[in-house]
């Protein structure tokens, strides 16, 4: 039985190797991205048009950077970190390649967004990223069970003890800093002041911790807990909130009073990418309005593609309008590039938050 099973395994491994071998023959784009950013329909169309196959690996910001760091920028041809996480790691580890902007059709991008992303991802005068998908971090609230939640600090309301959640990651620090009248982005350049500010935020979070059911880690974990009612208010991405809103109208994404946190995910090319041509083709293909609209619908977020919004479904637009009145849009706090060393300060505060009881 066992030998049979082992034999089967060997055969499968061999078959997989054969397939991998044949795939090697065709042109291939190795893409490291987020869940839902490369829906099958879009990938298939790309392969049909260009003959290039796309090999997708799903990840998040930290893991993307760690993976590239481990190989000094090899193993992938195109990656999609957030725009604030490019300059710092590039300075520190040199894992990206400067973009050849002449190969990117800049007319397909929303001009202001392209400019701000270029600015944020510039190191030594070279640009390392262009925008793709953007969205916000705010509050996902079951308005029936927790009608009073309007800002991050409300997650610490004793009335909701054991029914709230946030991630023990840097967005929580930034969010609670704003909610408590500080401006962390203004102190990015001053490590000492930033450290002092984070100490304060850390103390605030430590106090809030007893109110939290768990620090959420995976998106599905949080959404399940919100569906079952175990959690009634959490700091989370807008897309998750809108997804739940479609299932249960009571659950809403709320732009907090102190401001939603705006993020932009980019396209960047790893230092040792092997197929830059395919990478540029994928970027230009993805920014076509009709393709960008499909990707945005799949991700549940908005795109930096110029004109795609006209093609998007009504529902998401309505939800966005509901969550973001004009003032709330103006109040979005866009992440500036994270300077090197900032994560060190934040990391220690987060470690202490998790370890303390």
Partner 1 sequence: MSTRPGLRLTLFLLLAPAVLWLGLLIVLPHVEILILSFSERVAPRIYVFGFGNYLEFFTEPLYWRTFARTAIMSILVTALTLVLAFPIALYIARVAQGRLKAMLLLLCLLPFWVSELVRTLGWMMLLRETGVVSHGLQAIGLTGERIEFLYNDGAVILGLVYGGLLFMIVPLANALESLEPAVVEAGFDLGGSRWIVLRRIVVPHAMPGIVAGSIIVFMLTVGNFATPVLLGGKNGLWFTEQIYAQFITRFNWPQGAAFGMLLLLLSSAIVWAGLRLTGQSLGTTLKQA
The tokens of 132 are what? Answer: 């793709």
Say if CB 72 and CB 271 are below 8 A apart.
yes
CA angle 248, 250, 255 (to 5 degrees): 110
Residue 120 is encoded by which pair of tokens? 């944020």
Q: Which is nearer to partner 1, 51 or 189 (CB)?
A: 189
215/195 Cα distance (integer angstroms): 22
> Using CB under 8 A as the criterion, which residues of the chain lie in contact with partner 1 when the complex forms?
62-63, 65-66, 69, 89, 91-94, 162, 168-169, 209, 212-215, 217, 228-230, 340, 343-344, 347-348, 350-352, 354-355, 357
Give the Cα-Cα-Cα angle 130, 36, 166 (nearest 5 degrees): 90
Closer residue to partner 1 in complex, CB, 81/300: 81
Quick one: 93 or 185, whose CB is closer to partner 1? 93
8 A C-beta contact, residue 267 and residue 80: yes
Complex with partner 1: residue 110 or 265, whichever CB lies closer: 265
Residue 13 Cβ vs partner 1, minimum distance, rounded to whole Å: 18
What gap in Å lies between CA 352 and CA 84, rounded to an integer?
24
Q: Which residues of 258-290 are buried (b: 16+ CB within 10 A; e: fewer)?
A: bbbbbbbbbbbbbbebebbebbbbbbebbbebe
Q: Coil, helix or strand for 30?
A: strand
- Among residues 236, 205, 232, 207, the alpha carbon closest in space to that of 220 is found at 236
DSSP 8-state assignment for residue 327: H
Place of tokens 């299932």: 247
Supply the minimum distance, in Å, between the C-beta of residue 194 and partner 1. 16
Q: Judged by CB, which is closer to partner 1: 30, or 67?
A: 67
Closest separation in Å from C-beta 25 to partner 1: 30
Dist. CA 134–CA 117, nearest whole Å: 11
Q: Which is nearer to partner 1, 64 or 308 (CB)?
A: 64
Nearer to partner 1, 185 or 214 (CB): 214
Q: Which is nearer to partner 1, 274 or 348 (CB)?
A: 348
Closest distance of CB 232 from partner 1, Å: 12
User: Could you identify the residue written with the tokens 């909610």?
Assistant: 179
Q: How far is the CB of 346 from partner 1 (least distance, A)?
A: 9
């Amino acid at each position: 039985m066992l030998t049979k099973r082992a034999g089967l395994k060997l055969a499968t491994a061999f078959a997989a190797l054969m397939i991998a071998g044949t795939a090697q023959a065709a042109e291939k784009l190795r893409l490291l991205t987020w869940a839902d950013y490369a829906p099958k329909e879009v990938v298939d169309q790309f392969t049909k048009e260009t003959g290039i196959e796309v090999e997708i690996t799903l990840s998040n910001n930290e893991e993307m950077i760690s993976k590239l760091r481990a190989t000094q920028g090899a193993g992938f041809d195109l990656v999609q970190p957030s725009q604030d996480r490019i300059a710092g790691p590039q300075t520190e580890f040199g894992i990206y390649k400067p973009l050849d902007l002449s190969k990117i059709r800049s007319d397909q991008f929303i001009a202001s967004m392209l400019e701000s992303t270029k600015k944020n991802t510039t190191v030594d005068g070279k640009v390392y990223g262009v925008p793709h998908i953007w969205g916000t971090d705010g509050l996902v609230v079951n308005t029936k069970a927790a009608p009073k939640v309007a800002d991050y600090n409300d997650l610490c309301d004793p009335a909701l003890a054991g029914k709230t959640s946030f991630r023990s990651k840097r967005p929580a620090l930034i969010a609670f800093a704003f909610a408590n009248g500080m401006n962390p982005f203004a102190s990015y350049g001053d490590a000492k002041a930033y450290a002092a500010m984070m100490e304060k935020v850390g103390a605030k979070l430590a106090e809030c911790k007893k109110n939290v059911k768990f620090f959420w880690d995976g998106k599905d974990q949080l959404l399940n807990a919100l569906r079952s009612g175990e959690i009634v208010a959490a700091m989370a991405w807008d897309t998750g909130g809108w997804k739940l809103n479609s299932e249960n109208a009571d659950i809403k994404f709320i732009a907090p009073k102190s401001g939603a946190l705006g993020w932009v995910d980019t396209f960047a090319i790893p230092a040792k990418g092997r197929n830059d041509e395919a990478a540029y083709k994928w970027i230009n293909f993805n920014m076509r309005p009709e393709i960008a609209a499909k990707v945005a619908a799949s991700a549940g977020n908005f795109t930096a593609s110029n004109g795609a919004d006209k093609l998007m479904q009504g529902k998401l637009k309505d939800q966005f309008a509901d969550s973001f009145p004009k003032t709330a849009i103006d109040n979005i706090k866009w992440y500036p590039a994270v300077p090197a060393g900032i994560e060190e300060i934040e990391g220690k505060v987060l470690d202490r938050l998790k370890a303390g009881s």
